[in-house]
């Protein structure tokens, strides 16, 4: 099974790049399932229903969120009618929406997508470890789901790594989001879970975390908030993680980072590129 995850979509530049790239990538690599994190897609803060529908129409099978899930206030309403829009699982009881969803892939496989928030250096939430343990115990890999994908939206690398080892062998992949800078630690853990501390963002990297640099720099210098943050509008880099699974077990066989366009050094999953070469 071929899975692709695309990191935090930031603003108009990130949206444009993802909407242009995703249909091409789905066709080129015959992707079975695609997850996109869109918590920064609407001007850098939250997501609108129109953006969710655009991403789904472009080829996303599920859209995940994070700490900015409800920055657009109407998300409290439309999330209830968007079954493939997934907010963090460990938000307080009674929060609208769902923290997980079992979704059918293009190949007929059942994929459980789970979103969770970290607690280190972030707003206090319910324990993500206990919440995810409960979720993957109730819906087990290989029994109830053909693949289980976890988007762990967290600040601390240590917390993301700890979560990956905690879930190793029980889920297909644990992918870190939130910090908007791609790490170089993508790998398959001993139990067969694919992992990357942070996949990075889909946005303009000639920026400060996707935002025009002037205001963040000013705040660091003066500690004064002069203007609101505005997303940078230069060419975006599409960043993500490609995952090849073992159809018999649902665990990861190989993972590879993806970077296309913009200013970062490009890279593509060689295990899929080699397959293209062998067919030519």
Could you tell me the domains of the chain?
A: 2-279 (3.60.21.10)
In 3D space, the residue among 123, 79, 202, 196 whose CA is nearest the CA of residue 87 turns out to be 79
Considering the candidates 68, 153, 178, 180, report the single residue annotated as catalytic.
68
Query: What was the pLDDT predicted at 98?
Result: 98
Q: What is the pLDDT of residues 186-216, one digit of tens each?
A: 999 999 999 999 999 999 999 999 999 999 9
Q: With a cut of 70, list the residues of the chain below it in pLDDT.
A: 277-280
Count Cα atoms within 13 angstroms, Cβ side, for 167: 35
Query: What was the pLDDT predicted at 274?
Result: 81
How far from 89 is each of 51, 97, 118, CA to CA, in Å?
21, 9, 11
Active site residue 153: no
Alpha-carbon gap, residue 125 to 262, rounded angstroms: 35
In 3D space, the residue among 22, 29, 95 whose CA is nearest the CA of residue 65 turns out to be 95
How far from 61 is each of 31, 57, 208, 226, CA to CA, in Å?
11, 9, 29, 39
Query: Quick check: pTM over 0.85?
Result: yes
Structure tokens at 78: 């439309």
**Is 22 in a helix, a strand, or coil?**
helix
DSSP secondary structure letter of residue 65: -
Structure tokens at 274: 């080699």
User: Computed over its alpha carbons, how large is the radius of gyration of the chain?
Assistant: 18
38 in Cβ contact with 70 (< 8 Å): no
Alpha-carbon gap, residue 118 to 135, rounded angstroms: 16
The strands making up 238-245's β-sheet, listed across from edge to edge, are 85-86, 62-64, 33-37, 2-6, 238-245, 252-260
188 in Cβ contact with 255 (< 8 Å): yes
Length of the chain counted residue by residue = 280
Query: What was the pLDDT predicted at 276?
Result: 73
Query: What was the pLDDT predicted at 245?
Result: 98
Query: What was the pLDDT predicted at 189?
Result: 98
């Amino acid at each position: 099974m071929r899975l692709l995850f695309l990191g935090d979509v930031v603003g108009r530049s990130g949206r444009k790049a993802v909407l242009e790239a995703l249909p091409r990538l789905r066709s080129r690599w015959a992707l079975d399932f695609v997850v996109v994190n869109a918590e920064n897609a609407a001007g850098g803060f939250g997501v609108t229903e129109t953006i969710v529908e655009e991403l789904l129409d472009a080829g996303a099978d599920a859209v995940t969120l994070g700490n900015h899930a409800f920055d657009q206030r109407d998300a409290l309403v439309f999330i209830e009618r968007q079954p493939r829009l997934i907010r963090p699982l460990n938000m307080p009881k009674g929060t609208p929406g769902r923290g997980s969803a079992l979704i059918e892939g293009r190949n007929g496989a059942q994929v459980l997508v789970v979103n969770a928030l970290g607690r280190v250096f972030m707003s206090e939430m319910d324990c993500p470890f206990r919440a995810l343990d409960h979720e993957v115990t109730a819906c087990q890999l290989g029994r109830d789901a053909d693949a289980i994908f976890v988007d762990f939206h967290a600040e601390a690398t240590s917390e993301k790594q700890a979560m990956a080892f905690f879930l190793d062998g029980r889920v297909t992949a644990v992918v870190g989001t939130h910090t908007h800078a791609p790490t170089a630690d993508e790998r398959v853990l001993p139990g067969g879970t694919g992992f990357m501390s942070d996949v990075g963002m889909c946005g303009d990297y000639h920026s400060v975390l996707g935002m025009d640099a002037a205001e963040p720099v000013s705040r660091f210098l003066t500690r004064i908030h002069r203007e609101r943050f505005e997303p940078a509008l230069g060419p975006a880099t599409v960043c993500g993680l490609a995952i090849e699974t073992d159809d018999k077990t649902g665990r990861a066989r190989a993972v590879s980072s993806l970077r296309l366009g913009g200013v970062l050094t490009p890279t593509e999953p060689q295990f899929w590129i080699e397959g293209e070469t062998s067919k030519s």
